[in-house]
Each structure stands twice: as C-alpha cells, then as structure tokens.
Amino acid sequence: MDLNGLTLTEAKEGLLSKQFSSSELTKACLKRIKATDEKLHAFVTLTEAHALEDARHADELLSEGQDLPLLGIPFVIKDNFSTKGIQTTASSNVLRGYIPPFDATVVAKLKAAGMVMLGKTNMDAFAHGSSTETSDFGTTKNPWNTEFLPGGSSGGTAASVAADQTIAGIGSETAGSIRQPAGWCGIVGLKPTYGRVSRYGVVTMASSTDSPGPMTKRVEDSALVLNVLAGKDPHDGTSSPKPTKDYAANLKKSIKGKKIGISSKYLEGVEGDVVKAFNEAKKTFEKLGATVVDIASLGVDILDPKYSIGVYTILQRAEVSSNLARFDGIRFGQTRDAFGEEAKRRIMLGTYTLSAGYYDAYYKKALKVRTIIVSEFHKMFEKVDAFIAPTSPSTALPLGSSKNHPMFGEMADVLVEPSSIAGLPGINVPAGFSSKNLPIGLQIMGPQFAEDIILNLAHEFETNTEWHLQKPQL
Amino acid sequence: MAPAKTTAMKYTPVIGLEVHVELKTMSKMFCRCSADYFGKEPNTHTCPVCLGLPGALPVANAKAIEWCIMIALSLNCEINLLSKFDRKNYFYPDLAKGYQISQYDLPFGKNGSIELKSGKKIRIRRVHMEEDTAKLTHGQLGDQNSELSAKGGSAPSGKSQNNEKVSLIDFNRSGVPLVEIVTEPDFSEAGEVKEYLQKLQQIVRYLDVSNADMEKGDMRLEPNISLQVTRNTPHEGKNVSPVTSHELPSYKVEVKNINSFRFVEKAINFEVKRQEDILEKGQSPVQETRGWSEIKNQTVSQRLKEEANDYRYFPEPDIPPIRHTKEQISTLLSRMPELPDAKYSRFLREFSLNDYDTEILTREKSLADFFEEAVRVGKDHSVTPKQIANTLINKKVDPSSSEPASIVKQIVQSGQVTSIKEEELEKIVTDVLESNQKAVGDYKSGKETAIMFLVGQVMRQFTTKIDASVVKETIKRRLS
C-alpha cells in the first residue's frame, strides 16, 4: 500500500520506527492529491511548498528523537479555520484573497503538535449547507462515486480523507457538518461536546453550536487528534474549563453491560438500506455484550427530531445574520453582493426573526424548545450510556440535489440536529454500504463531555466490523 | 438662557440623560490590546478581536465588569446577580463586527438613584457595560488644516492624489470599555443636569475607574428633552414631582454625543426654547435625534423617528452569562473607597469645617486625602484642621506638587498661627460681638468694612498672633 493510505496510528508508528520519513509520507499524499483532485475537487488551496517545508522540519525533529503527538503527520484543514499567512475563504467569494494574520487555536495546537498541513479543503460557503454545492469554488465529489455528493459542510475534508489524499483531516460541525459528510464518505467523524474544542479563529457560522473536530480513517485516530485539540482556550469564553481526558486510553475497554438507547423516532423516513445497516449495528453491539434498548420502554420520551429543524433553523439563521454583518464591503475587498444565494437567504431569514415584533414568536420560542431538547437528552442519559441512530436518513445523494432545495441541509441533517442543538458529542462510524455501493453511517451520541464513552463504543464497533477496511476506487 | 416667564408657567421640561463613561482599564473590553488609545499612532492598538476579523472571539474583561458594578453600587443600584451581554446589530463603518456588544435586558445595575443638593432624587434606570467603536476621520488628504495632514504619513497615500476626499478608520478605540448610565426623565432644568454630571464625574474619579476627562471624550453626554404641558391648577410649577410614565409627553428629542457640561446646558436651554416656540404655535415637536453644533450654537436635526434603528438585540452567544454571588457583591462594596457624599458628611462632622470649605476639600479625592494627611501631621504641631483647610484653600495648594508635612511646617513657621482652641475663639468672638453692637449693626445693614473692626477687636484679645482669616470666617458665620 502507498504511504498515503495509512491511518494516523500506522503513520505515527512508521515515522517513529523510521520506516519512512515525513517527507516521503507528505510526498505520497501530494502525489495522490495531484492524481485525484481534478476529479474530486476537495481543495480550495493546496499548500505544497509549506507542506514540504513542514515535513523537512518534522524529519529533523524526528531524527532528534522528539516525540510530539502528531509530528510529521499530513493533515487537511477545512477552509473556515484561520491559517496565518494562508488564504482562508470559507469557500465564499466574500473572503476570496483574505489572508488571516493569525492561526485558529485548533490550527495552532496542531502545528504545536507537529502536523504537516497539506492544504485547505472545500466546504459549503460559510458552512451553509450539507453538500458543498453552495461553495463559490465548485462542488466536491464523493470518492465512492463522483456522480454523488460528499455531504457537507465539511465535504472537502471528508472526501480527501476517504480518498487517501491525506492521513487525517479537520472539520467543523454546527449541526451535522462533520458527521453527515463522514457518513456519506465512509470515514470516522467526531463532533465533540460544544466547548470541548476552541472555536477561536474558525470563521463563525452559528456561535452557539459550532464545534471543530477530527475526521479520520479510524476511531483511534480521532481519539489521538482530540487529545491534541481538547481543552480550555483563554481566547474562547465558551470553551469549557472541565479537565480533559486521555481519549485514547479506554478505547479497547470492554463494552459489556453498557446500555445503548435507540428510538423509533430516529428511523422514520429513513431509507431501507440504512435501516437494515442500523439493525445490523444493533446486533453487533448486542454481540459485544451491550444492551440495546428502545428508550420509550424506559419511560423516556423525546421530541421527534423534525422539531429540531425548526429550532435549529431559527437560532442558526439569527446568529448567521449577525455573524456575517462584519463583511460589510469596507475591509474584506468584496461587497455584500458577493454573498451566494444561500447566505443571502439565511441573512434575510435571521434578520427577520430577530426584528422587533418577531423576536418573541421566533427566536425566544426556539430558545425555549432548545431548553426542552437539552433537558430531554439529560433525562435520557440518566438511563442509558449512549444513544445510537443512523447518521443520515439516506446515503449520499446525486450531484445537484441541493439546488432549488433551500432546506436540503436541514433534511439531510435531521438526525444530528437534536444532539447538535443540545451541544452533545457524537461520532460517525462506517456501518455498511447501500445497494449502490455508497457508504452508510452510524452515529453514536453521548452525554456532555462523554467523548471517551462514545469513542470506546465506536472503537469496539469498528474492531468487530469490516466496513472501514473498504476503499473507494478512483 | 432661562425660559421666558410667560411660558415657564405652562411648560415643564422633562429631561433624561444617558452618559457614556470610558473606563481606564489597562486592556480593552474583549481583548488584551491596550485601552490607552488617546493620541496614539492609528491602528497600533489592534488585534483580530477588536478588528472584528473572522473567527476572532470576545473574552470579557473581568476588571471592567467589576468597575461597572462599582459605579452601579455607588449610584445605589440593585445588582443583577445573573447578567449577560447582548448584540446590538447595526451597520456603521466604525463598527468592526457589524454589531456592538452591549447589554439589553440584564444590565449589571438597575434602579438606583442619586441625590442633588436640593434633596431631589434623580432615579438611575440602568448601568450597563458595552464597547466603544472605532474612530472615523473624514477629510481631504491635501488639506493642511485637516487632522489628516498631521497623520498624513500613515494614510494610504501611495496612490492618493492631493485633495482626495477620504474617510479613515482608526481601530485603536474599537473595544475600549464603556459604561452607560441612564437616568429616568427626572430633571426639569439644565442646572440640575449639570449638577448631576458633576457628581457623576466626581464619583467615577473617586472610584478611580475613569479619568472622566471631557476633552479626551471620556464622558459623552446625551440628554433627551421634551416639554410637558402642565395642568392649569393653583399648585402648578411649585412642586413638580418626578413625572410618571403615563404623564410623559408623546415625543422625545435626543441630543447625541455632547462632550462638555457647558454644551449640555446650552443644548438643553436651546431645546426648551425651541420646543416652547413650536408648542406655542399649537404644533407638536417631532420625535428625532439632534446634534449640538458648536458653530451654530444650536441643536440640529440628525435623524427622525421613522429612520430609527431596529437593533435586533439577542444574547451574545460568544460570551457565557455572568453570575455573581451576593457575597462577591458585598466584598466589592466593602473594598470601595469612601464616596464624595460620605466624605463630605464625615469632614463636616469630624473636622468641624463649614460647608464651603468641605465642598472644596472633597471635590477631588487627591485634595481630600492630602488634607487628611496634613491634619494627622498637624495634630503633633497643634495645627488645627481649620488652619490647614484655610491654607489649602487660600493658597490653592496643588496636592500633586507638595507634601502634607511641608504645608504643616509652613503654617507653623509663618508664625501667623498659634494653636487656638476653637472654643476659645468662639468665646472671645461672642464677647466681642456683644460689646460692639454698633459695628455688628453696621455690618448687618450692609457695611462690609465693619467686619474688619470686629476682627481687630478679637485679635487684640490674643497675646499671640493669630490667623485673621480664621477670625473673619468665624465672625461671618456667626453674623450670617
């Protein structure tokens, strides 16, 4: 196998045991990118020269015996993370040519941990969408079938990781933007608890739900990256002071006796292939000694996930309308005409719901329903250790599906939105393939700051299935 | 300029006030940039946060919040133990993020009051925390008189032609902490507003949280003025209690961003007259925002009600709500310095000074502290507080350039003093006044010079030389 096909854990071992150098690893990735990216279009900006320089530096440190957690490991970063000296567009024309004078905290931490950055990946413009079709720089294609969408908004990172263009990647999720593209591209995507990973320097979408996280080939890889990213950031007042854990420490722990909740409300309107894979997944967990139980039988009632669409739409549009106000045409080169259709729609809707006379009917009401959703999850997690569901109602949809469907993203993300609104952690793991040979994702959600629990469940599921071993043919 | 007599009977001004006070914290409200922006090279005190760059996040300055609460406490406010920041959304080139971080429904302080000399209470509606905007400069690059030419080097002059019209933005002020203090519409004339402002300025200086330097824009004043047509009853105009909301006039004229107490007075008096004239014609003044023009010496219309902003306030999602405990607030209260009113009463009581002396000595904390230190030193040299007060006031001693001990030394050396006991002086004055009824009568009927005769008579009773001004003050007080 080519070096670029390695998982993070394998690459780290290879580098430490000097089987290959970071330069070789990085060159393998760059070669793969050149061979495949015309087809996939996962990148907005490729930083080849920087990457080779970083790799050379990493090799020096490696030869000195330095042991940084991600030393010499190639990464791709979603283009909404500010990167000092490197164009950061959030895939919007509004920010075309914008070069941040600072690194996002996530980027700074990855750099300090020794990563090699290959480039900045495509996404829905300002993360508005679940397809990458709202990107002003073209649509990314699904590596499993380039006639299909990769999902979004972190579609570029998902496609890049799935296509072995990189060892690992970084995405961000507001409601589904890590888990849904990870599901559609057949990789692991971890959305941490809101506040577990700093948002500083991430071009803001919805401040109250944005959560950066790893997108990787294996569960263990995500745990290793989270070890680097997690923690209080003095630059982000919403980051949590709660102590972090060693997220890789308990991955292999037996899950015997764990109680896993499910709900029929998360299966309504879900495609047959996806339901079938979900039922298989249940059996896998039971085989491993966990109890899978319908939460209704525990006397726990939860709102139909469809209600979270309304809540999320109101809150997120409101925050978007305010967060995008800074692009006023004075300092960032482009005027507000440069916003795409989706951003304009969101700005208008958000402005409307915050206006005098409408605030109580929309924003305030949405906040109240959010409180209900939070407390429902809280009650549920008093009875179960984790909650599983399909990540998306469908597998990847064909190119063009999001056009003329303003609520496309919300429908595609209906099963991840409740936990996003509640700020809970969730992880996507590959759980099967559809009749069209497109990946199916399973998501495991847990209570606040229980990343260790869902990583443990995900790892045990992964170890006892083989879906993750399949590779797309490009 | 007082309102004309005929109309003063018919209209009562209803005036409220918003004051922005800039705090003198080391760093800005939401980032670590220096907040000391005045006169600094433009755009040198900036960072991603105060420039509003994508992804930069605000982190609230704990010291500024503490100081805001101290101001609220000193204005007798209730403190909201649960408070939060909100976004006030509007576009303006000086607003980096397209919204200002302010406070909407849960300000740090609410329902306070401040008492004027007359005993009238001015209610404080709220005291909240927010951030300042950047500073805009409009002008022509080639204009020698323009503020721009002095800083022309830093202007983007590479391609600029002479006389090109430009608007420049200096973000040094962006994000500097501001405390906004809003009163109820309890003022009924400009004099009350001025007294309130002086007290407020004195308080923030006592707290040492703002320089409150008008010339540097540390205090920005926004009166709102309307006229109430008073009912035609026999009591009218005599005892105007604070207006209740259902009695408020149907319009309100706001005058924005005035930077001197004198201009506030002028603006209010101008508005009262202007609105009276309109009402006299049977019309109603329009609700609008006006500005004070120093050149025209009048207020000028800036924005009508129809153009008023809908700020679309909503809770700032980047800053978690702020919780304080009652204990934290009482600790803060116990750490606060003695405030002007309290110091005033204590000086009267403790040092047996008169109102006039006390007023001057407590006007600024530095002088009050100087005085108290001098009294402590003076005790060992039999120098009385009154003697020290007289010296400080008469010689206009600058507390920043002299030492309390040296003032005491001066008093002692000047020989013009001997320690005279207050009671002894009082007794002699009583005797002298009794045995010089004619001079007393002369003085009381307006012959000011008669007092010097009485002073002489008193001083003759002492074997040592004593301070004539002290004697004069005492006699004056007794005869007033």
**pLDDT tens, A347-383?**
999 999 999 889 999 999 999 999 999 999 999 999 9
| Structural domain boundaries enclosing B27 | 5-134+174-326
d(CA B257, CA B222): 6
Interface residue A437 vs chain B (CB under 8 A): no
Q: Work out how many domains chain A is built from and give that number.
A: 1
Interface residue B314 vs chain A (CB under 8 A): yes
Residues of B with CB below 8 A from A88's CB?
54
CA–chain centroid gap for A456, Å, is 18
Angle, helices A8-16 vs A219-229, to 10°: value is 70
Interface residue B8 vs chain A (CB under 8 A): no
Cβ atoms of B420 and B462 within 8 Å: the answer is: yes
CATH of the domain at A255: 3.90.1300.10
Cβ within 8 Å, pair B57-A200: yes
pLDDT score of B3:
45
What are B476's two structure tokens? 């004056």
Angle, helices B385-394 vs B404-413, to 10°: value is 100
Told to judge if A177 belongs to the known catalytic residues of this protein, a careful annotator would answer yes
Instruction: Name which of B87, B109, B160, B167 is nearest B134 in CA terms.
Output: B167
Does residue B295 sit in the same domain as residue B211?
yes
**Amino acid letter at A378?**
H
Q: Around A194, how many Cα atoms within 13 Å sit in the side-chain half-sphere?
A: 21
Shortest Cα–Cα distance, B141 to chain A (Å): 19
Does residue B441 sit in the same domain as residue B316?
no
Interface residue A88 vs chain B (CB under 8 A): yes
Does residue B54 sit in the same domain as residue B78?
yes
Interface residue A91 vs chain B (CB under 8 A): no
The answer to whether residue B126 sits within a structural domain is yes
What are B474's two structure tokens? 């005492």
d(CA A3, CA A162): 14
Interface residue B317 vs chain A (CB under 8 A): yes
Cβ atoms of B79 and B59 within 8 Å: the answer is: no
The answer to whether residue A341 sits within a structural domain is no
What are A414's two structure tokens? 């209906």
The answer to whether residue A345 sits within a structural domain is no
Which of B387, B413, B439 corresponds to the end of one domain?
A: B413
Q: What is the DSSP string of A273-284?
A: HHHHHHHHHHHH
pLDDT score of A423:
96
Interface residue B136 vs chain A (CB under 8 A): no
Mutation for A interface: B86, B101, B312, most A CBs within 10 A = B312
For residue A112, which phi and psi values (nearest 5 degrees)? Answer: -65, -30
Q: What is the pLDDT of residues B280-293, one digit of tens each?
A: 998 999 999 999 99
pLDDT score of A117:
98
As a whole-number percent, the residues of chain A with pLDDT over 70 amount to 100
Cβ within 8 Å, pair B89-A322: yes
* Residue B145 or residue A436, greater confidence: A436
The answer to whether residue B139 sits within a structural domain is no
Cβ within 8 Å, pair B54-A82: yes
* Residue B163 or residue B1, greater confidence: B163
ipTM of this predicted complex? 0.95
Q: Which of A22, A154, A177, A321 is the catalytic position?
A: A177
Shortest Cα–Cα distance, A354 to chain B (Å): 5
Q: What is the pLDDT of residues A136-150, one digit of tens each?
A: 999 999 999 999 999
Q: Closest partner residue to A101 among B48, B318, B320, by Cβ?
A: B48
Which of B386, B413, B440 corresponds to the end of one domain?
A: B413
Average pLDDT of span A419-446 = 97
- Mean pLDDT rounded to a whole number for chain B: 88
Does residue B305 sit in the same domain as residue B393?
no
Does residue B195 sit in the same domain as residue B244?
yes
| Structural domain boundaries enclosing A110 | 3-303+370-469
Average pLDDT of span B301-320 = 87
Q: Closest partner residue to B320 among A101, A234, A238, by Cβ?
A: A238
Does residue B204 sit in the same domain as residue B88?
yes
The structure's pTM equals 0.88
Beta-carbon contacts below 8 Å between A and B: 95
Does residue B404 sit in the same domain as residue B448?
no
Interface residue A328 vs chain B (CB under 8 A): yes
The answer to whether residue A433 sits within a structural domain is yes
Q: CA torsion sign, A377 to A378 to A380 to A386?
A: positive
Asked whether the predicted pLDDT for residue A193 surpasses 90, the reply is yes
How many of the other CB atoms lie within 10 Å of CB of B397? 20
- Lowest-confidence region among A170-184, A310-324, B1-15, B192-206: B1-15
The answer to whether residue B153 sits within a structural domain is no
pLDDT score of A142:
98
Those residues whose C-beta lies under 8 Å from the C-beta of residue A310, and which sit 6 or more positions away, are A366, A369
Q: What is the pLDDT of residues B366-395, one digit of tens each?
A: 999 999 999 999 888 888 899 899 889 888
Shortest Cα–Cα distance, B57 to chain A (Å): 6
The answer to whether residue B168 sits within a structural domain is no
Length of chain B: 480
d(CA B213, CA B22): 9
Does residue B103 sit in the same domain as residue B220?
yes
pLDDT score of B478:
85
Which of B266, B291, B326 corresponds to the end of one domain?
A: B326
pLDDT score of B472:
85
Mutation for B interface: A170, A204, A235, most B CBs within 10 A = A235
Residues of B with CB below 8 A from A363's CB?
314
Does residue B215 sit in the same domain as residue B305?
yes
For residue B371, which phi and psi values (nearest 5 degrees)? Answer: -60, -50
d(CA A131, CA A401): 8
B158 pLDDT band, cuts 50/70/90, is very low
Shortest Cα–Cα distance, B64 to chain A (Å): 16
User: 């879900």: which residue's tokens?
Assistant: A270
The answer to whether residue A443 sits within a structural domain is yes
Cβ within 8 Å, pair B312-A355: yes
Cβ within 8 Å, pair B57-A90: no
CATH of the domain at B447: 1.10.10
Q: Which of A82, A153, A172, A263 is the catalytic position?
A: A153
**Amino acid letter at B470?**
V
Average pLDDT of span A297-315 = 92
Q: Around A137, how many Cα atoms within 13 Å sit in the side-chain half-sphere?
A: 29
pLDDT score of A42:
98
Q: Work out how many domains chain B is built from and give that number.
A: 3
d(CA A474, CA A454): 32
Average pLDDT of span B177-199 = 97
Q: Closest partner residue to A363 among B59, B96, B314, by Cβ?
A: B314
**Amino acid letter at A374?**
V
Cβ within 8 Å, pair B54-A88: yes
The answer to whether residue B9 sits within a structural domain is yes
Average pLDDT of span A221-239 = 98
Told to judge if A344 belongs to the known catalytic residues of this protein, a careful annotator would answer no
- By C-alpha distance, the chain A residue nearest B56 is A201
Residues of A with CB below 8 A from B91's CB?
325, 328
* Three-class DSSP category at A350: helix
Q: Which of A78, A120, A217, A258 is the catalytic position?
A: A78
d(CA A112, CA A109): 5
Instruction: Classify residue B360 by burial, with Cβ atoms within 10 Å: 0-12, 13-18, 19+.
Output: middle
pLDDT score of B394:
84
The answer to whether residue B208 sits within a structural domain is yes
Residue B166: strand pairing partners: B139
pLDDT score of B54:
97
* Residue B151 or residue A392, greater confidence: A392
How many of the other CB atoms lie within 10 Å of CB of B326? 9
pLDDT score of B241:
54
The answer to whether residue B468 sits within a structural domain is yes
Does residue B254 sit in the same domain as residue B369?
no
The answer to whether residue B167 sits within a structural domain is no
Asked whether the predicted pLDDT for residue B477 surpasses 60, the reply is yes
Does residue B274 sit in the same domain as residue B363?
no
Told to judge if A63 belongs to the known catalytic residues of this protein, a careful annotator would answer no
The H-or-E segment that residue A416 falls in is none
Q: CA torsion sign, B68 to B74 to B77 to B79?
A: positive
Does residue B377 sit in the same domain as residue B283?
no
